Amino acid sequence: MTLPVVAIVGRPNVGKSTLFNRVAGKRIAIVEDKPGVTRDRIYSRGDWSGREFHLIDTGGLEFGQQDEVIDHIRHQADLAIEEADVIVFAVDGREGMTTTDQEVARLLHRSNKPVVLAVNKLDHVKHYEEAYEFYRLGFEEVFPLSSLHGTGTGDLLDAIVAHFPPAAEEEYGEDIIRVSVIGRPNVGKSSLVNRILGEERVIVSPVAGTTRDAIDTPLRREGQDFVIIDTAGMRKRGKVYESTEKYSVIRALRAIERSDVAVVVLDGEEGVTEQDKRVAGIAHESGRAVLFAVNKWDAVEKDEKTMKRFRREVLDHFAFMDYAPVLFISAKTGQRVHQVLPAVQEAAEQHAMRISTSVLNQVLQDATMATPPPSVKGRRARLSYGTQVAVKPPAIALFVNDPELFHFSYIRYLENQLREAFGFKGTPIRLMLRKKN
């Protein structure tokens, strides 16, 4: 399911980040390999009146080297207009209206996206009348508020949520495998998609998706229907997108959300980068099936060990994703591209796999017999039984005497045993400890 996107725009120092932090609920944790590394905080998830949404602080985006504030804001506005369902335009109520605010307003009026105006820094109700002059900016919904104290933000959120499109229904049937092809710019995503579409056994169906500006490409291979999500986003080029590293993360996130399987494209020539890790981490954390396609393999100088070495590099960098198959391909020559869809199909099947409770418990029993859960301070950990509670990804509830007694490493051991028994190739699995009553 795809969540609505809310973007906050406005000139520097009006309090966008403060508002962002106020409105943001749980952060999208982006996997970093080292503790202490600055985390990406431009993107977050919010929740109001039971509606979840994504929140983008466009002020936190980098747009290459731009000295001109107005240039920078223009990019912010473009991005918001492009990506958001609702735009929050933040201004400083204490400072009053500036010409830059008017300029931003002009940009936003050119789009037909709903805009709500947050007149910030009005920390006391007695100052709320300062908000009136901002009606001159031409927006109907004007909210005096204080991001610092949180007053007035509830009314703002009500207005934001009121503009959300109705909760999206499932766009495609259960039997269609939804695939996203993700990765940083220039790794060869669009080349790969074009190659796949050009493959002999692939039939491209002419029906196009209709979600926003996304163009999905439906196709069929040997009786199996697929849809490649957001091929438009892949082709989209422009100054803003090219200069904004984080933009591709946002785009990837939204494509991932709509898919069952994410094909993470890496550049075989350049190796694994931080940005690759972020994008792959999102796929993992969203519980999608994942496979790695190491592209440009034609351009890699190699001997008989190169593939093995690269595979190791991938495993090292994505240690938490060792379930994901790694393919070595060339979108340019077509080498092994025919393996991509079958691998996607297999991962999708594993992602949707259901294990019967009796078989599952047989495996769990064998596992706990071979290596019993360790005791902690004289208390013995006991696993009573497990049951699969969800698919896509498979989630298994483990009923235990005391969840506190189960160390991460033991859970990891159980996961490995389950993978050995059932495969689950290409899919993350979730193991959840539940206290047995």
Question: Which residues fall in the annotated binding site for GTP?
Answer: 10-17, 57-61, 120-123, 183-190, 230-234, 295-298
Tell me the C-alpha distance between 206 and 208, whole Å: 6
* CB 379, min distance to ligand GDP, A: 48
* CB 15, min distance to ligand GDP, A: 3
Give yes or no for residue 185 binding ligand GDP (CB under 6 A): yes
* For ligand GDP, the closer CB: 246 or 425: 246
The piece of 46-54, 293-301, 380-388, 390-398 that touches ligand GDP (CB under 6 A) is: 293-301
Give yes or no for residue 120 binding ligand GDP (CB under 6 A): yes
CA 332 to chain centroid, in Å, comes to 28
Give yes or no for residue 427 binding ligand GDP (CB under 6 A): no
Q: What are phi and psi of 325, to 5 degrees?
A: -65, 150
* CB 336, min distance to ligand GDP, A: 10
* CB 148, min distance to ligand GDP, A: 3
* For ligand GDP, the closer CB: 120 or 350: 120
Tally of CB atoms within 10 A around 167: 12
* CB 333, min distance to ligand GDP, A: 7
Alpha helices in 219-265 (DSSP H): 231-235, 239-243, 245-257
Q: Which of 187, 282, 293, 367 binds ligand GDP (CB under 6 A)?
A: 187
Token pair, residue 249, equals: 């993360």
> Contact at 8 Å (CB) between 216 and 226?
no
Q: Which of 274, 266, 336 is nearest to 295 (CA)?
A: 266
Tell me the C-alpha distance between 184 and 272, whole Å: 11
For the chain, the distance separating the N- and C-terminal CA atoms, rounded to the nearest angstrom, is: 34
* CB 195, min distance to ligand GDP, A: 8
* CB 368, min distance to ligand GDP, A: 45
Using alpha carbons, list the distances in angstroms from residue 279 to 151, 177, 232, 244, 394.
35, 20, 18, 14, 21
Tell me the C-alpha distance between 20 and 17, whole Å: 5
Give yes or no for residue 153 binding ligand GDP (CB under 6 A): no
Tell me the C-alpha distance between 285 and 270, whole Å: 25
* CB 322, min distance to ligand GDP, A: 25
* For ligand GDP, the closer CB: 98 or 416: 98
* For ligand GDP, the closer CB: 82 or 415: 82
Q: Which of 2, 44, 58, 146 binds ligand GDP (CB under 6 A)?
A: 146
Give yes or no for residue 12 binding ligand GDP (CB under 6 A): yes
Residue 399 bridge partners (DSSP): 385, 434
Is the peptide bond between 393 and the residue preceding it cis, with omega within 30 degrees of 0?
yes
In which element (H, E) is residue 369 found?
helix 357-370
Q: Which of 278, 257, 259 is nearest to 4 (CA)?
A: 257
Residue 227's identity, in one-letter code, is: V
Q: What pairing do the DSSP bridges indicate for beta strands 430-435 and 5-9?
A: unpaired
Give yes or no for residue 234 binding ligand GDP (CB under 6 A): yes
Q: What is the sign of the dihedral through the CA atoms of 264, 269, 270 and 272? A: positive
Q: Which of 3, 6, 7, 14 binds ligand GDP (CB under 6 A)?
A: 14
Residue 111's identity, in one-letter code, is: S
Give yes or no for residue 17 binding ligand GDP (CB under 6 A): yes
Give yes or no for residue 188 binding ligand GDP (CB under 6 A): yes
* For ligand GDP, the closer CB: 318 or 328: 328
Using alpha carbons, list the distances in angstroms from residue 291 to 212, 260, 339.
27, 11, 11
Q: Cβ neighbours of residue 108 under 8 Å, at least 6 residues apart? A: 9, 77, 80, 81, 87, 89, 115, 139
Strand spans (E) along 109-252: 115-120, 142-144, 177-182, 202-204, 217-221, 224-228
Q: Which of 32, 103, 123, 285 binds ligand GDP (CB under 6 A)?
A: 123
The piece of 8-16, 34-42, 316-324, 343-351 that touches ligand GDP (CB under 6 A) is: 8-16
* CB 258, min distance to ligand GDP, A: 18
Size of interface with ligand GDP, in residues (CB under 6 A):
31
SS3 category, 434: strand
* CB 122, min distance to ligand GDP, A: 7
Residues placed in the known binding site: 10-17, 57-61, 120-123, 183-190, 230-234, 295-298
Site string for ligand GDP, 390-419 (x = CB under 6 A): ------------------------------
Q: Which of 4, 46, 59, 426 binds ligand GDP (CB under 6 A)?
A: 59
Q: Of residues 294-353, which lie at the interface with ligand GDP (CB under 6 A)?
A: 295-296, 298-299, 330-332
The contact set with ligand GDP (CB under 6 A) reads 10, 12-18, 59, 120-121, 123, 146-148, 183, 185-191, 234, 295-296, 298-299, 330-332
